[in-house]
Structure 1
Amino acid sequence: MPPTAHRRRYPSDTTAREWALIEPLLPLPACQTKAGGRPEKWHRRDIIDAIRYLVDNGVKWRALPADYPPWQTVYYHFAAWQRRGVIASLRDQLRRQIRTGQGRCPWPVTLIVDSQSVKGAETVSKATRGFDAGKKINGRKRHIAVDTLGLPVMITVTPASTTDRDAARELLWRLRLMQPQITQVWADFAYAGQLTSWSDDFLHMTLRTVSRPRGAKGFVVLPRRWKVERTLGWIMKARRNVRDYERLPQHSEAHLTWALITLMTRRLTRQGPHTEWAKKQNLTPESCTGTA
């Protein structure tokens, strides 16, 4: 089904250039595969516009405007794409395009990690929430790894009671499996201790910490760490991410990722077509060692 004629009804809707960028990165509809399937009733652009509207404005699923597809259809695609890894794949492909457009290797070797605790709504179950004693927050904690441009590489959501060190073990382990070219990770002092030696000995990944200057008061811009803190600020511009409303932590991760996907598509379309630099250089993850 073609997209509805009324384009750009809301500021969060995709532009023509954004949709031209996103459409080829999505998996083929079932009806176009060998296995076959029913044709999709609603155009995918309308589905993505509805998801972006919900993330940007923080409304309930049932409160989606009537000129979008039914909320049940939008939620089905949102959950299915998260479960099948489509959202993560879209995030990674857009990140590689931005890095390529700036003459960098598509696969980063240096990351920065940090966490953020947010309050959980009553819809967040007791089993998936906790109390962050340091921040005095009852809810969930977001753990994010970004490259040196502040672009997302991995996001995980845990109960707020989970310590940064415990969550980092799982995060770094997954990064080693999925991003084997990574050699160095920067973090704040909360990640110091046994985690540093564990990362070096078992993952062959150097974990370095950046501490606040002695005697510093109030807000201080810290080397390297400011990039991941800026990314957390980008996430909070989407109202759905100001508080955690999701029953499943995986859906919280998806909402965070969609906010950053919107940021990346707008950055790419604002800058114009991305360069073919990486293709000409025939780069692989192994060839990126030593570059950020």
Structure 2
Amino acid sequence: MSEPRRAYRTDLTDAQWELIKPVLTAWRNERTAAGLKIRPPKHTLREIVNTILYVNRTGVQWDLLPHDLPPATSVFYYYSLWIKDGTTKRIHDLLRAEVRSRAGRAREPTAAVMDSQSVKSSFSAGSETVGTDGGKKVKGRKRHIIADTMGLLLAVIVTAANIHDRHGGQVLLDDVHDAHPTVVKTWADGAYGGLRSRGVCLDIKLEITTKGLATCGFTPLTQRWKSERTFGWLSRSRRLAQDVEATTHSSEAQIYWTMTGLMLRRATGTSAITTYRTGTQTGIPTSI
């Protein structure tokens, strides 16, 4: 058996791994029970997640991964498969409920905040998924998010930047209504004003908040500012500094993985910085 590699600061701690291990273990057992002819895995699922988090935080290209991590072909196989079968979203949603519970909140929210962010895209993005946001003068893609009042994501969709907030917002409201029926109120800015009737149909009160014509300069609004906090968290991921994904589905997955990393640290009371400095991770386990 080879010596365990030296841990990166993005690696999962034992406590963090225990939170998501049941989901991934069940996923592997389900595939095995389905009779799929799967060769004995060469790399552990924990190492696969470690590598995805490394790519997400550092922004490194898949084919430029360090040699002591699993090869890009293997990791990208799992990464793509988990997008298609919903495992990425399932892990994210499990952690959001856990974080809310540990914060003394109900596992499901009753209120949410909706907003969008336009970012530049790279040459790898398909031309049909890229547009120009005339208001913000950004050519690229737009991230439409809806988050609870703690700033934790409920849903996200990525579109071309020229897609109006109203169209993205309608999809978000529909998604939240189906997946989180407890949500009864949402805050948003003036761009979503045309969705009030849609909110009524879904039994979601849409409150449009503005700073008012008499107010000058920067003025953070109590509820809406929480979505900006979420965008601030996303900006810590170098993979999200610019949209470098070939597809919008991959862009959405990178957003979910950024929030997954944040919630893992919050749920276990650890951070990448303190873990790295104290050297509590001495090796990588060989099971699962």
TM-score by length of 2: 0.88
Aligned residues: 267
Describe the SS at the equivalent of 1:29. helix
Q: Which runs of structure 2 are paired with 1:267-286 in the superposition (5 Å)?
A: 267-270=266-269
1:248-292 per-residue CA deviation (whole Å, 9 max, x = no partner) reads 100000001101100000011117xxxxxxxxxxxxxxxxxxxxx
Q: Tell me, yes or no, if structure 1 residue 22 matches structure 2 residue 20.
A: yes
Q: 1:34 to 1:167 in 2, by over 3 A?
A: closer
CA distance, structure 2, for counterparts of residue 189 and residue 263 of structure 1: 30
Q: Which residue of 2 aligns with 1:206?
A: 205
CA distance, structure 1, for counterparts of residue 146 and residue 82 of structure 2: 21
Q: Which residue of 2 aligns with 1:81?
A: 82
Q: 1:67 to 1:107 in 2, by over 3 A?
A: same
Q: Which residue of 2 aligns with 1:151?
A: 152
Between 1:11-20 and 1:107-116, the stretch displaced more is: 11-20
CA distance, structure 2, for counterparts of residue 32 and residue 196 of structure 1: 47
Q: Which residue of 2 aligns with 1:115?
A: 116
CA contact 2:5–2:68 (8 Å) conserved in 1:
no
Q: Which residue of 1 aligns with 2:218?
A: 219
CA contact 2:234–2:240 (8 Å) conserved in 1:
yes
What amino acid sits opposite 1:199 in the alignment?
G
CA distance, structure 2, for counterparts of residue 71 and residue 21 of structure 1: 25
Q: Note the C-alpha offset of 1:216.
A: 3.3
Q: Note the C-alpha offset of 1:32.
A: 4.5
CA contact 1:29–1:40 (8 Å) conserved in 2:
no
Q: Note the C-alpha offset of 1:65.
A: 0.6
Q: Note the C-alpha offset of 1:17.
A: 1.5
CA contact 2:121–2:139 (8 Å) conserved in 1:
yes
1:215-268 per-residue CA deviation (whole Å, 9 max, x = no partner) reads 434432111011111011000100000101111100000001101100000011
Q: Tell me, yes or no, if structure 1 residue 167 matches structure 2 residue 168.
A: yes
Describe the SS at the equivalent of 1:204. coil
- The CA RMSD over aligned residues, in Å, is 1.8
Q: Which runs of structure 2 are paired with 1:8-87 in the superposition (5 Å)?
A: 8=7, 10-26=8-24, 27-30=26-29, 32-38=32-38, 39-87=40-88
Q: Note the C-alpha offset of 1:214.
A: 3.0
TM-score by length of 1: 0.87
Q: Note the C-alpha offset of 1:199.
A: 1.7
CA distance, structure 2, for counterparts of residue 7 and residue 153 of structure 1: 35
Q: 1:4 to 1:68 in 2, by over 3 A?
A: farther
CA contact 2:91–2:260 (8 Å) conserved in 1:
yes
Q: Tell me, yes or no, if structure 1 residue 105 matches structure 2 residue 103.
A: no
Q: Which residue of 1 aligns with 2:187?
A: 186
CA distance, structure 2, for counterparts of residue 128 and residue 3 of structure 1: 44
CA contact 1:3–1:46 (8 Å) conserved in 2:
no
CA distance, structure 1, for counterparts of residue 173 and residue 59 of structure 2: 31
1:188-225 per-residue CA deviation (whole Å, 9 max, x = no partner) reads 11111x3112221x212111111124343443211101
Q: Note the C-alpha offset of 1:36.
A: 4.9
CA distance, structure 1, for counterparts of residue 218 and residue 4 of structure 2: 48
1:168-203 per-residue CA deviation (whole Å, 9 max, x = no partner) reads 1111112212222221111111111x3112221x21
Unaligned 5+ runs, structure 1: 272-292
CA distance, structure 2, for counterparts of residue 219 and residue 12 of structure 1: 35
